[in-house]
Structure 1
Amino acid sequence: MSYNLLKGKRGIIFGALNDQSIAWKVAERAVEEGATITLSNTAVAVRMGQVSELGQKLNCEVIPADATSLEDLENVFKKSMEVLGGKIDFVLHSIGMSPNVRKGRDYDDLNYDFLNKTLDISAISFHKMLQAAKKQDAIAEEGSVLALTYIAAQRTFCGYNDMADAKSLLESIARSFGYIYGRSSKVRVNTISQSPTMTTAGQGVSGMDKLFHFAEKLSPLGNADADDCANYCMVMFSDLTKKVTMQNLYHDGGFSSVGMSDDAIEVFEKGLE
């Protein structure tokens, strides 16, 4: 159901890969809510994934870009303003990748070149994105920028590895840049801490299936899925949340506030038998 929350707004969605992606769901919902958008991902992802298919479906342009390249990001904002006919009202950063995770390196045996890539791709790209946009005055006054994060930025989850460090940095960037962008242009910058979600990237994390089921048992409302996250993003992109900024917003069915649940205790006790 559409509520026209984004009617007349222009947006950029970074990170859609396939129909399992949260960014993919956000793009679909944004158009459904009345927005016009552009999509961006790496050239390799555009060639190998289904982003072009999504672009055709939503009648929006796909602009390939390496999110670690300032030049590429500047081009995305410049071209998006040309294509969409004005400044950008909302942006989603849904980008994350760890070579250490992909290569199975443990946290106490990291490859530091890989770590630098993890931080650059998963967190510093957010700073570059915001910096590129601000220098071009590309985001409209009272615009909204979101980045997806995870509670491993605050708590230790075995298997999440150096992505936890990246998410911590990502959230810090949202606060620091949120203050600057808020003061200058009333642009909101927030992060959404999402439930474990079975995206292509999420499934690459060791033990993700077990973590998914654990969170489901612990959360009073159960895990929030990609569609739920897309709905939440619509509210955060809309004019209904003009005074919300510099926040890390938990969207996890209550997981982040629960110490232990009856269901989790029952499963734990069965494991001890």
Structure 2
Amino acid sequence: MSHDLLKGKKGIIFGALNDMSIAWKVAEKAVEEGATITLSNTPIAVRMGQVDELAKKLNAQVIPADATSVEDLQNVFSKSVEILGGPVDFVLHSIGMSPNVRKKRTYDDLDYNMLEKTLDISAISFHKMLQVAKKQDAIAEYGSVVALTYVAAQRTFFGYNDMADAKSLLESIARSFGYIYGREKNVRINTISQSPTPTTAGNGVKGMEHLMDFANKMSPLGNADAEECANYCVMMFSDFTRKVTMQNLYHDGGFSSMGMSLRAMNQYSKGFEEYTDENGHIIYG
């Protein structure tokens, strides 16, 4: 059911790959709420994914771009302004990838060239995007920019690896650029810290299915799925959040405020009992 929250608004969605992508859901929801959009992803993602299928469904144009390339980003913003008929009202940054995670390099054995790529793709691309947009004056006054992040920026999670560093940098960029862009152009910049979500990128994290189960047991409202995240993004793009900026907003069912839940404690106790003898001594395998 549409509420016309984005009626008449224009936007750019970076990162839609397939129907598992949060960006894909955000694009669908934005158009459903009255927006017109352009879509962007890397040339190889456009070839290998299903972005063209989404574009046809939403009557949106695809502008391939490497988000680490300033030249490519300049093209995305200038073409989007041309196609959509003026400065955009919202932008979604849903981009993240770690070669170290893909190659199963542990955090104490990182390949530093790969680390540079992780940071460039997953965080510095956000700064480049904002800098290009500001120089082109491509985002309308009171526009909204949202980047997706994860609580591993604040806490340590096994297997999340150097993506945690990238998300920390991403959130810092939102605050630092949010001050400048807000002061000069009334553009607001926020990050949404989403529950672990089974996207193509998320599934690359070691033990993702266990992490999702643990987060679900810890969260009083359970994990937020991609569809629910899309709804939250649309609200952040809308005029109802015109004075919200420089915030890291948790969309995780309450996980980020929890220490231990009853469900998680019961699961832990059950597992603990399986590895103790009748005297309560731990059985080592």
TM-score of the two chains, using structure 1 as the length reference: 1.00
Map 1:175-186 onto structure 2 (within 5 A). 175-186=175-186
Residues in 2 aligned to 1:148 and 1:233: alpha-carbon distance in whole angstroms: 9
Q: Which amino acid aligns with 2:263?
A: D
What is aligned with 2:213? Answer: 213
What is aligned with 2:116? Answer: 116
CA shift, 1:28, in A, is: 0.1
CA shift, 1:253, in A, is: 0.2
What is aligned with 1:226? Answer: 226
CA shift, 1:126, in A, is: 0.1
Q: Which runs of 4+ in 1 moved over 6 A?
A: none
CA shift, 1:160, in A, is: 0.1
What is aligned with 1:15? Answer: 15
Deviations 1:213-249 (Å, cap 9, x if unpaired)? 0000000000000000000001100000000000000
The 3-state SS of whatever aligns with 2:61 is coil
Q: Which amino acid aligns with 1:44?
A: I
2:139 aligned with 1:139: yes
Map 1:13-52 onto structure 2 (within 5 A). 13-52=13-52
2:256 aligned with 1:244: no
CA shift, 1:107, in A, is: 0.2
CA shift, 1:27, in A, is: 0.0
What is aligned with 1:72? Answer: 72
What is aligned with 2:105? Answer: 105
Q: Which amino acid aligns with 2:164?
A: A
What is aligned with 2:235? Answer: 235
Aligned length: 273
The 3-state SS of whatever aligns with 1:89 is strand
What is aligned with 1:130? Answer: 130
2:195 aligned with 1:199: no
Residues in 1 aligned to 2:44 and 2:258: alpha-carbon distance in whole angstroms: 40
Deviations 1:6-60 (Å, cap 9, x if unpaired)? 0000000000000000000000000000000000000000000000110011000
Residues in 1 aligned to 2:192 and 2:242: alpha-carbon distance in whole angstroms: 16
Gaps of 5+ in 1: none
CA shift, 1:74, in A, is: 0.6
The 3-state SS of whatever aligns with 1:17 is coil
Residues in 1 aligned to 2:234 and 2:131: alpha-carbon distance in whole angstroms: 23
CA shift, 1:115, in A, is: 0.0
Gaps of 5+ in 2: 274-285
Q: Which amino acid aligns with 1:109?
A: D
Q: Which amino acid aligns with 1:104?
A: K
TM-score of the two chains, using structure 2 as the length reference: 0.96
Residues in 1 aligned to 2:55 and 2:43: alpha-carbon distance in whole angstroms: 14
CA shift, 1:167, in A, is: 0.1
Residues in 2 aligned to 1:71 and 1:89: alpha-carbon distance in whole angstroms: 22
Q: CA RMSD in A?
A: 0.3
Residues in 1 aligned to 2:103 and 2:163: alpha-carbon distance in whole angstroms: 13
Map 1:80-91 onto structure 2 (within 5 A). 80-91=80-91
What is aligned with 1:170? Answer: 170
CA shift, 1:64, in A, is: 0.1
The 3-state SS of whatever aligns with 1:29 is helix
The 3-state SS of whatever aligns with 1:172 is helix
What is aligned with 1:60? Answer: 60
Tell me the percent identity.
79
The 3-state SS of whatever aligns with 2:125 is helix
Deviations 1:179-218 (Å, cap 9, x if unpaired)? 0000011000000000000001000000110000000000
